[in-house]
Structure 1
Amino acid sequence: MTKRIVILGGGTGGTLSANRLRRDLGDGADITVVDRDDDHVYQPGLLFVPFGLAAPEDLVRSRPRQLHEGIHYRRADVDRIDAESDQVHLQDGTALPYDVLVIATGARLLPEETEGLTGPGWRDTVHTFYDYEGAVALESALAGFTAGRLVVNVVDLPIKCPVAPLEFCFLADWYFTERGVRDQVQLTYATPLDGAFTKPVASRTLAGLLAEKNIELVTEFNTGEVDGAGKRLVSYDDREVPFDLAVVVPLHGGASYVERTPGLGDEFGFVPADPHTLQSKARPNIFVIGDAAALPTSKAGSVTHFEGEVLARNVARYLAGHELDTSFDGHTNCFIESGFHKAMLIDFNYDTEPLTGHYPAAVGLPLLKESRLNHLGKLMFSWLYWHSLLPGRDIPGVSTTMPRAGKHFPAPADH
């Protein structure tokens, strides 16, 4: 009997899951992907738009056209999930029954949750590059900025691609240097973290790079208010960071239908799941992939790619009544653009923080070190995204689990 698989979300996770499942299960599964619009945006490219390094229209393609033949695409908003009767209720009043549900609706921006953020100054002196419209508006704002204080601010975690705000700082340093006005521009990075990044070795390296590029680092800054008229960020402990131009990464939350489905999500609207099988903690026939999941790993495209293989295998195993694969290890792999045609690379998982060395083995790309090779790797990722990652193909030489070869592990402490 044909099994019904409904996938909510036609972004990275939903698309690659649908394509993998279609390939693995063939006509044994009836697969439907649901999304509210038809525009698939290559989100890593948004970082480059404000600096004129990417044309925004080149980042958007049709969602249904990324899906293999035989997969149904439904353009609709989700109202809620009825997990008891295994149905997805859409806002147009129809219901989609399922045998397995895959939640892949990512993270949404919640700028209205921060006092003043969308008030006076929004899209004028206060911007974000985390959505298409914001990145486009920021390009013209940066073009007209020749002197003053530019502050990059992360309101709170978790956010999509946690290194992107740092990359923005490094690219801004390069951008203003190229324009000959870097001496007139003060760059500041304000973060709620107690360092430049969450993991100690990477945090030290990245803080060193900020200092080297004369970018001020303000730590443990928990933004309570954005005063666009007064041009200042105010933290909950009443510290202030003045700005002439603010680039803010807003609060993130899960899809709104999660909040309308009792027991499915956490307080942020993300969906708790087993960190190794990706099976939802709410129901055994619900699986989660990508930014929609509440897992102790980064909300990054690479994570979604590495999750895809395990998720597709586990949906098939669940339908066949077999034990689930527990092999997902939180593998994350991120290029960090550092400007001047260079980039760093970090590779880590649940148990191992980003370390120095090489990836994917002793001969490979340098880890936690600036190089032109890493920059080329970042640029090549766009091609891989559309032609390998979304179609659900494996990338040769890149495994789902984090490779240990090539990494410099610290010596075990003496007892």
Structure 2
Amino acid sequence: MRTLLILGAGTAGTMAANHLRKVLGDDWSITVVDRDTDHHYQPGYLFVPFWMEPGRVVRDRRPLLAEGVTFVEGRVALVHPERSEVELADGTGMTYDWLIIASGTRPDPTMVEGMAEALARREDVHDFYTLEGATALRERLRTFEAGRLLVHVSEMPIKCPVAPLEFAFLVEDHYRRRGLRHMVDITFVTPLDGAFTKPVAAGELGGLLKDRSIRLAADFAVERVDGEAGTLVAYDGRELRFDLLVTVPPNVGQQFVVDSGLGNDAGFVPVDKHTLRSVEHERIFVLGDASDIPTSKAGSVAHFATESFIDNFLAAVEDRPLPNSFDGHANCFVESGRGQAMLLDFNYDTEPLQGAYPLPAVGPMRLLRPSRVNHLGKLAFEQIYWRMLLPGHRLPVPAEMSMAGKRRPKE
């Protein structure tokens, strides 16, 4: 009996387990380990402060795994690749023939002076990258009616890099609908030199910020948060005052990755960006946010990368050349308020461009343009996620990015 061990039962880990259970024979055992039994639909965190009920984003992990997949509840302490063993916090040892690390990323506010303390008070400093944070922010937005509101990104990479922008657009729309927009000054604060990392998207998203009268504070490398004084301080001396700060703390890999010596300085595992195989340990693959691949840490990347990975894993266990090369495909809806959303589609080599998706000319979704159809697509994805993506059904969208329907800007 050969053993596959998967660390993490989030999007990538659950998808991988369910896909592989269909194609691996009875001579394989598949075990998934996670610290608890709650699976969170993380895109829902964005909506919890505004309208989504917090309980709607959580389901039991265990029924989401295919029959024949074993789930173990436990916290991973160390990985010992030299002896193909994983050690849990309670001292349990688990051996494997092949290992998939799909442990994701986590916000770590202790990396910014004053941030953890300010967040703990849940008064004028909040986050929405945890369910607890999003729920507390929901209550704060109900009472906050005037003042300076900062939407802040500490550093990159973060899970779903467009989510802070989405929050800025949604909170602007929130106050517009309440008739309080003129009372709330909103600034989007980012360490990037613009609204996004790539020029075309940065221009479009920056233009939308301007249209919504949302200020942009770029190149802001945060040094500390002073919750008592209500200031956000940058290393270059700039200070931004706030009455409400909605911040995204630095995102890092899991502690066991660091403690096991498997990660880089941020705790992400170095892999071949096309095969997702560890550069140091040939029997370890890394899926989802846990790797260091140079693309968005987003659910769509976990989806496309995992689909590309399946055939590679089957080849690897048979010592054959890996057939698929993941291109870094990412596909992200960007809520823009007013019941509309934008759509970004890009990969390692191609930045987000304008056009139609998934069919050229027909669409029906528009790239880098706000539309009602895009918004409805984002809302519909919740059910697609639970009913199709996690169970391992292939969606009618290719894992590899296509240039069909995209328009490059004129020089």
TM-score, normalised to structure 2, is 0.98
Find the counterpart in structure 2 of residue 297 from structure 1: 295
TM-aligned CA deviation for residue 233 of structure 1: 0.2
1:360 aligns with 2:358: yes
Matched, 1:181 2:180: yes
Cα distance in 2 for residues equivalent to 1:143 and 1:312: 46
Say whether residues 1:383 and 2:383 are aligned partners: yes
Residue 370 (structure 2) pairs with residue 370 (structure 1): yes
**In 2, are the aligned partners of 1:361 and 1:403 still within 8 Å (CA)?**
no
Q: CA deviation at 1:178?
A: 0.7
Counterpart amino acid of 1:315? Answer: F
Q: 2:49 is paired with a residue of what secondary structure? A: helix
| Residues 205-354 of structure 1 mapped to structure 2, 5 A cutoff | 205-262=204-261, 264-354=262-352
Kept after mapping to 2: 8 A contact 1:148/1:184: yes
Shift of 1:26: 3.7
Question: For residue 80 of structure 1, what is the aligned residue in structure 2?
Answer: 78
Whether the aligned pair in 2 keeps the contact of 1:100 and 1:315 (CA below 8 Å) is no
Counterpart residue number, 2:201: 202
Mapped partners of 1:118, 1:400: distance in 2: 38
Equivalent AA in structure 1 for residue 81 of structure 2: A
SS of 1:287's partner is strand
Letter in 2 for 1:409: R
Determine if the alignment matches structure 1 residue 134 to structure 2 residue 133.
Answer: yes
> Can you give the 5+ residue segments of structure 1 that lack an aligned partner in the other structure?
none
Distance 2:292 2:189 in 1: 25
Alpha-carbon offset, residue 317 of structure 1: 1.2
SS in 2 for 1:84: helix
Other-structure match for 1:63: 61
Moved segments of 4+, more than 4 Å: none
Query: What is the match of residue 167 of structure 2?
Result: 168
- What amino acid is aligned across from residue 54 of structure 2 in structure 1? P
1:8–1:14 Cα contact (<8 Å) kept: yes
Aligned residue pairs, count: 408
Question: Normalising by the residue count of structure 1, what TM-score does the alignment of the two structures yield?
Answer: 0.97
- Aligned counterparts of 2:393 and 2:264: Cα–Cα separation in 1: 32
* 1:23 is the counterpart of 2:37: no
State the AA in 1 paired with 2:298: A
Q: Which residue of 1 aligns with 2:147?
A: 148
- From 96, 99, 103, the equivalent of 1:98 is 96
Q: List per-residue Cα deviations over 1:29-67 (Å, max 9, x = no partner).
A: 20000000110010000000111x211101000111110
Moved more, 360-369 or 31-40: 360-369
C-alpha distance in 2, partners of 1:160/1:151? Answer: 19
Q: Which runs of 5+ in 2 are unaligned?
A: none
CA contact (8 A) 1:310 1:325 kept: no
Same amino acid, percent of matched pairs = 51
Query: 1:118 aligns to what SS in structure 2?
Result: helix
Matched ranges for 1:116-131 at <5 A? 116-120=114-118, 122-131=121-130
Which amino acid counterpart does residue 385 of structure 1 have in structure 2? Y
Residues 78 and 88 in structure 2, CA contact (< 8 A), matched pair in contact too: yes
2:144 partner amino acid: F
| Cα distance in 2 for residues equivalent to 1:257 and 1:120 | 27
TM-superposed deviation, 1:3:
1.7
Contact 1:345 1:374 in 2 (8 A): yes
Aligned equivalents of 2:303 and 2:76: distance in 1? 24
- Per-residue displacement from partner, 1:351-400 (whole Å, max 9, x unpaired)? 0000000111212111000100000000011011101111111111x000
Letter in 2 for 1:170: F
What do residues 85-132 of structure 1 show as CA deviations (whole Å, max 9, x unaligned)?
A: 111111111111111100000001101111001224641100000000
C-alpha separation between the residues in 1 aligned to 2:346 and 2:29?
36
